[in-house]
Structure 1
Amino acid sequence: MKVLFIHQNFPGQFKHLSVALARQGHEVVSLTLRVKQATTWNGVRLVPYALRRKTPQNCHPWVTDLDSKVTRGEACFHAATKLKAEGFTPDIIIAHPGWGESLFLRDVWPEVPIGLYCELYHLAGYPHAGFDPEFDRGTAQIEPMRIRMKNINNQLHFDAAQAGLSPTRFQADTFPEPFRSRISVIHDGIDTDALVADPGASVTVPGAGTFTRDDEVVTFVNRNLEPYRGYHVFMRALPRLLATRPEAQVLIVGGDGVSYGAAPPDGRSWKQTFIDEVRGDIPDADWARVHFLGRMPYGQFTALLQVARVHVYLTYPFVLSWSLFEAMSCEGAIVASDTAPVREAITHDVTGRLVDFFDGDALVEEVGRLLDDPEARRRLGRAARAHVRETYDLRSICLPRQLDWVSDLADMTV
């Protein structure tokens, strides 16, 4: 079978599925912006496409996003047309539609089944919009219209695709019928064989020393440090957390950019914005126990999760982070926000502890209780790992189900 993957940053969510298909002997190709020259990665042939230079034009802000997606879709269309001219016609296409690359693939191969990775459909109602009033841009009246325009890319894909794949029920359920009924909920998969508890793990922080399980380490992880992932709530809780836990070392992982939502209006990063807000409330001696680690190589990141006594995870009602499941697989004792996507993974006081997203005092109290209760940490950590093994394990659960989904897609008629 010939399989074509579409992902601007391949492999992305297709890291395991694409390699598994290649190892089964299928011809696997990906169109991606990730490389500049054609190459092979783990048996997958990577074919680059390029975005054309555009002349500046005046666009309404609500269609700027669509303009970007159409630009990418056109570029991918030309690359796909070239592939077809070279004699490659896939049996199935698996695409992440989020950036628009797959918009026009039906025009190249009208008889080929298309499966979509359904990450999120944008909803205008609370709590999907307006969840955090602090960052309300005063546009509540027009927000439903803006979001409806943002969903044009999703809507255009519904008619072209035969099936969808979504990692969580929360994410799948954002999609409207009738397409929701075509979406299978299968997580990307967590490598629980690699992500295990390790009493001998250690993390070295330049200028601060090496931390082990003997240290009172509290961890907080985002791809980028920003409000969507509760960074502002965590930072505002830090003065009290540091004051009440004089031995705690706080290790914060994340970049300075913006993955979701808007950037700060004054040009600073969100990271710096909230450092500046709380720094005056934290004595120098306490601030010396706060360590910003940026983005870490994966092996060091795993060690960080293994060292943590308590791991904090906060999120808006949004896409659920891999890092939560990774921490659970490492038997992490987790304090997380009581938001809908998190409740899908964590049951309060069974696989973790849940607190109101906005309640920094409750967050500090719950972290403190767990730091003082090693038996509770062991109980929650073991239950968290067991849940991940039973529900999200890569090799025994998720990858076999993904491969079945691929087989079903190949049997579908357009």
Structure 2
Amino acid sequence: MKILFIHQNFPGQYKHLAPMLAARGHDCSALALKVTKPTNWQGVRVLPYALLKRTGQNLHPWLVDLDTKVTRAEACFKAARTLRDSGFTPDLILAHPGWGEAMFLKDVWPTARMALYCELYYLTGEEHLDFDPEFARQDSDLQTLRIRLKNLNNHLHFAHADAGLSPTRFQADTFPAEFRGKITICHDGIDTTQARPNANASLRVNGRDTLTRSDEVITFVNRNLEPMRGYHRFMRALPRLLKERPKAQILIVGGDEVSYGITPPNDKSWKQVFISEVRPEISDHDWTRVHFLGRLPYDQFLSLLQISRVHVYLTYPFVLSWSVLEAMSCEAAIVASDTAPVREVIRHGQDGRLIDFFDQEVLLEEICSLLEDKTERARLGRNARKTIKETYDLNSVCLPKQMQWLSKVMNGMTL
């Protein structure tokens, strides 16, 4: 079977599925922006394409997002047409539609089956758009209209899609009924042979101290440090946390950009905004125990999770992060926000502790309680890893289910 992958940052969520399909003898190709010449990645032929140069034009602000996606879709369409003219016709297109690239591919290959990675359909209810009152937009009615237009990209893709795959029920259930019926729930998968406990783990922090499991390490991870992932709630807990835990080492992982949500004011990063807010309440001595590590190579990231005594994960009702599942797989004791995507994975008191996203007092209590209770940390960690192995394990659960799903997609069934 000939398979074409489309992902803005290939391999992205296909990093396990694509090599497996190639290893099983399928002819796998990918169109990608981030390569400059044809290359081979684990058996997948990766072909470059480039965005077309655009002259400036006046657009309504609500249409800028769609304009960006159509620009990518046009470039990908032209690259696909060239690929078709060279003799390549895929039986199956696997695409992440989030950046628009796959919008016109069925116009190139009308007989190909198309299956989408359904990450999120943006919702406008109070529990989504205005979840955090601190960052609520001034005119929520107007923001509702803006979000409706943001979902045009989903509609333009689903008009031509044969099936969808979503990693969690929460994410799948954001889609309207006419889409939801095509979506199968299956996570990308956690490699529990890599993300596993390691009693001998250590991590050198900022080129100075080496921390191990004998240290009181509290970890917090975002792709980028921003409010949608609770960075502000965690930072505001630090002044008291550092005073109450004089031996604690705080390890914070994440970049300075914006992945989701609104941009910070005054050309600052959210990281700096909340450092500036809390720093006057923290002594110079205590501040030496707060370590911003940026983005870590994966082996160092796993070491960080393996030495963590308490791992804090906070999020709006949004896409669930891989990092919290990897932390669970490493048997970290988790304190997480009691929000819908997290409740799907963590049962309070069974494999983690859930707290109100906005309750800073309870956040501190739960962190300190677990730091004092080695037996409870170990119990939660064991249960957390058991949950991951039973439900999210890459090789025994997720990849087999994805392969079954693909078989059904190619046979005309989607559920």
Distance 2:404 2:31 in 1: 23
- Aligned equivalents of 2:27, 2:222: Cα separation in 1: 35
Pairwise CA distance, 1:255 = 0.3
User: Equivalents in 1 of 2:96, 2:148: separation in Å?
Assistant: 20
2:42 alignment counterpart: 42
Q: What CA distance in whole angstroms lies between the structure 1 residues aligned with 2:402 and 2:393?
A: 12
Tell me, in whole angstroms, the C-alpha distance in 2 between the residues paired with 1:25 and 1:5.
15
Residue 256 of structure 2 aligns to which amino acid in structure 1? D
Equivalence for 2:287? 287
Instruction: Report if aligned partners of 2:137, 2:143 keep a CA contact under 8 Å in 1.
Output: no
Q: Name the structure 2 match of 1:79.
A: 79
Match of 1:342 in 2: 342
Aligned partners of 2:413 and 2:216: how far apart in 1?
57
Counterpart residue identity of residue 314, structure 2: L
Cα-to-partner distance string for 1:37-63 (whole Å, 9 max, x where unaligned): 111000000011100111111100010
Q: Secondary structure at the match of 2:412?
A: coil
Question: 2:349 matched to 1:330?
Answer: no
TM-score normalized by the length of structure 1: 0.99
Aligned partner letter, 1:102: A
- The amino acid of 1:159's aligned partner reads A
Deviation at 1:128, TM superposition (A): 1.3
CA RMSD of aligned residues (A): 1.0
Aligned residue for 2:185?
Answer: 185
1:63 is matched with 63
Q: Separation in 1 of the partners of 2:285 and 2:38?
A: 52
Contact 1:215 1:248 in 2 (8 A): yes
AA at the equivalent of 1:402: Q
CA distance in 2, matches of 1:207, 1:327: 23
Q: Displacement of 1:31 after TM fit?
A: 0.7
Alignment partners' CA distance in 1, 2:9 and 2:128? 26
CA distance in 2, matches of 1:95, 1:169: 19
Cα-to-partner distance string for 1:264-284 (whole Å, 9 max, x where unaligned): 121100000000000000011
Partner amino acid for 1:234?
F
Give the TM-score, by structure 2 length.
Answer: 0.99
Question: Matched residues in 1 for 2:231 and 2:338: separation?
Answer: 15
**Which residue of 2 is the match for residue 204 of structure 1?**
204
Contact 2:6–2:95 (CA<8 Å) still a contact in 1? yes
Per the TM alignment, residue 405 of structure 1 is displaced from its structure 2 partner at its CA by 1.2
Cα distance in 1, alignment partners of residues 122 and 372 from structure 2 = 41
Name the amino acid aligned to 1:58: N
Q: Which runs of 5+ in 1 are unaligned?
A: none
Is the counterpart of residue 12 in structure 1 residue 4 in structure 2?
no
Give the 3-state SS of the residue equivalent to 1:149 in structure 2.
helix
Q: Distance in 1 between matches of 2:91 and 2:308?
A: 46
What is the CA-CA distance between 1:208 and the residue it aligns to? 3.9
Structure 2, unaligned runs of 5 or more: none
Give me the whole-angstrom Cα distance separating, in 2, the residues matched to 1:265 and 1:141.
22
The superposition leaves residues 146-169 of structure 1 with CA deviations (integer Å, 9 ceiling, x where unpaired) of 111000010111110010000000
For 1:234 and 1:403, the matched residues in 2 are separated by 39
Alpha carbons 1:113, 1:413 under 8 Å: kept: no
Would you say the 8 A contact 2:206–2:291 is kept in 1? no
**Residues 72, 101 of structure 1: 8 Å contact kept:** yes
Shift of 1:407: 1.4
Aligned to 1:391: 391
CA distance in 2, matches of 1:165, 1:210: 41
2:158 & 2:284 partners in 1: Cα distance? 55
Tell me what 1:238 maps to.
Answer: 238
- What amino acid is the match of 1:143? Q
Instruction: Give percent identity, aligned residues only.
Output: 63
* C-alpha distance in 2 between matches for 1:359 and 1:34: 41
Deviation at residue 206 of structure 1 after TM alignment = 2.7
Residue 228 of structure 1 deviates from its aligned partner by: 0.5
- Residue 110 (str. 1) matches residue 72 (str. 2): no
1:306 counterpart residue number: 306
Give 1:111-126 correspondences, 5 Å limit.
111-126=111-126
4+ residue segments displaced more than 4 Å: none
Cα deviation digits, residues 311-352 of structure 1 (max 9, x gap)? 000000000000000000000100000100000010001010
**What is the CA–CA distance in structure 2 between the aligned matches of 1:157 and 1:205, rounded to whole Å?**
44
Residues 157-176 of structure 1 aligned to structure 2 (within 5 Å): 157-176=157-176
Question: Does 1:96 find its partner at 2:96?
Answer: yes
Provide the rounded CA distance (Å) in 2 between the counterparts of 1:198 and 1:268. Answer: 38
Letter in 1 for 2:172: A
**Cα contact 2:130–2:137 (8 A) shared by 1:** no
Query: Structure 1 207/115 Cα, relative in aligned 2: closer, same or farther at 3 Å?
Result: closer
Q: CA deviation at 1:93?
A: 0.5
1:413 shift after superposition: 8.7
- Indicate the residue corresponding to 2:132 in structure 1: 132
Partner of 2:33: 33
Pairs aligned (count): 414
Q: What SS is found at the alignment partner of 2:318? A: coil
Partner of 1:316: 316
Contact kept? 1:96, 1:118, Cα under 8 Å: yes
State the alpha-carbon separation in 2 of the partners of residues 319 and 289 from structure 1: 30
Aligned mates of 2:352, 2:256 — CA distance in 1:
28
Contact 1:339-1:357 within 8 A present in 2 as well: yes
> Given residue 245 of structure 1, which amino acid in structure 2 is its aligned partner?
R
For residues 190 and 200 of structure 2, the distance between their equivalents in structure 1, rounded to whole angstroms, comes to 22
Cα distance in structure 2, aligned partners of 1:216 and 1:86: 59
